[in-house]
Amino acid sequence: MKYLNRLAVLALVLMAIIIPIVFTAINKHTNKAIEENAKTAQSYAKESSEKRLQSEAEYTEISKVIPGIVCIGSDLMASAGTNSTNFASDLQNKLNEDGYKIPITNLAVRGENMLTILGRIGVVPFVISQDVTIPTVADLIDISLDSSEDGYVWPLAISSDSSNFNPVTVAGHEGMIGGDVRTDPETGENRHYFVRMTDGEPFTIPAGSVVNTSSDDEFKDFVHIIWVGENDKWDNYELLSSYIERIVASCGANKNRYLVLGLISGDNESAREYDRIMEASFGSHYMNVRKYLSGIKLEDTDVDFTDEDKAEQAAGRIPQCFLQQGGLVLNDKGYNVLLDYVYNGLVANDCIRKPKNQ
């Protein structure tokens, strides 16, 4: 019994010695783990902060080189008649999702012809057709607009904020031009009005005075996506190409960063000459929309198609499943399928950039 009591006492003594040692060891291990976790968290936070600052610095440098993208065109670029598509906005969303902080401005106006588009962006300027006297009081004064080259114009959305037309400068005077009337579809005769910005001394705008719009210089250094020509009857694709070349030449710092989107009409045979000229003029910058949409495998899309659609593709035509009724403009499905093609064209032609760590 006495022996057992001694063992019990010894056990209690050992426990009194061992337990503090174990708890001390556990605490040291726990404290070390806490310290290591804290160091890891601090390191991660520092690394994340450095990456964020680096990305912001890279974004700043990228914006100096590529300040934005501007879309030039008419019905096709404006996604006219679609139910839920805004092609430029959808492209902007795709860029944002993939880490490209590059703003897109869409200057497309539905219904305008080539010379009107060129006039609005200052490549082939509008001119005042006849002398016009502007009175002291700011009031609506009738004017007529011409192109500075052979052909007629009809600015259809000059009062629209999205067209970046106003304010204008004419003969050194700033004002606003309004109206959207084309009085003679055959001759292109039109009547618009000019209103000076503030009251002042009367002045005369001589015939032939150039109209400088707000789009003339604001987007010169932007990457251009050009989709033009659908509202003109072309029998001279060399002329169409030359107009597009002038848009490219008018660009500032990004003359080598642009895309030219092709017309959607025709087939492999009828569009052969058009494609040849566009490819020769613009190389990799030319995006053959007709060829792409007539060549894409319909089974790989979510589009409902028919045997007639497959037959259209076989001839090199865009199938009806990608077109609105009448076949002049793409439908929502067509624009959605085209989005990746244009996006990849921007990447391939160094039109968009993002930080290296993204």
User: What distance in Å separates the CA atoms of residue 120 and residue 322, rounded to the nearest whole number?
Assistant: 30
Summarised one tens digit per residue, pLDDT across range 206-215 is 999 999 998 8
Lowest-pLDDT range of 58-62, 158-162, 224-228, 325-329: 158-162
Residue ranges of E strands in the chain: 69-73, 104-106, 126-128, 132-134, 141-143, 145-147, 168-170, 173-184, 189-196, 203-205, 210-212, 223-227, 258-261, 286-287
User: What distance in Å separates the CA atoms of residue 302 and residue 117, rounded to the nearest whole number?
Assistant: 35
Q: 75: domain range?
A: 66-107+219-358
On whether residue 115 sits in a domain, the answer given is: no
- Regarding whether 253 and 354 lie in a shared domain, the answer is yes
On whether residue 114 sits in a domain, the answer given is: no
Q: Any idea what the CATH number is for the domain that residue 343 is in?
A: 3.40.50.1110
Residue 352 CB partners (closer than 8 Å, separation 6+): 66, 69, 95, 100, 102, 223, 346
User: What distance in Å separates the CA atoms of residue 288 and residue 114, rounded to the nearest whole number?
Assistant: 19
On whether residue 118 sits in a domain, the answer given is: no
On whether residue 275 sits in a domain, the answer given is: yes
Neighbours of 320 (CB within 10 A): 16
Task: Specify the residue for token string 């008419």.
Answer: 74
Summarised one tens digit per residue, pLDDT across range 91-130 is 999 999 999 999 999 999 888 899 999 999 999 999 999 9
- Regarding whether 49 and 9 lie in a shared domain, the answer is yes
- Regarding whether 137 and 94 lie in a shared domain, the answer is no
Q: How many domains is the chain built from?
A: 3
- Regarding whether 129 and 85 lie in a shared domain, the answer is no
Both structure tokens of 159: 């009062």
pTM score, two decimals? Answer: 0.83
Both structure tokens of 267: 């087939």
Over 80: is that where the pLDDT of 85 sits? yes
- Regarding whether 189 and 149 lie in a shared domain, the answer is yes
Summarised one tens digit per residue, pLDDT across range 167-209 is 999 999 999 998 866 677 677 777 889 999 999 999 999 999 9
Q: What are phi and psi of 348, to 5 degrees?
A: -65, -30
- Regarding whether 309 and 237 lie in a shared domain, the answer is yes
- Regarding whether 307 and 164 lie in a shared domain, the answer is no
| Adjacent-strand bridge partners of 212 | 169
- Regarding whether 201 and 142 lie in a shared domain, the answer is yes
Among 216, 231, 263, the domain boundary falls at 216
User: What distance in Å separates the CA atoms of residue 219 and residue 228, rounded to the nearest whole number?
Assistant: 17
On whether residue 336 sits in a domain, the answer given is: yes
Q: Any idea what the CATH number is for the domain that residue 199 is in?
A: 2.40.33
Among 199, 216, 233, the domain boundary falls at 216
- Regarding whether 344 and 261 lie in a shared domain, the answer is yes
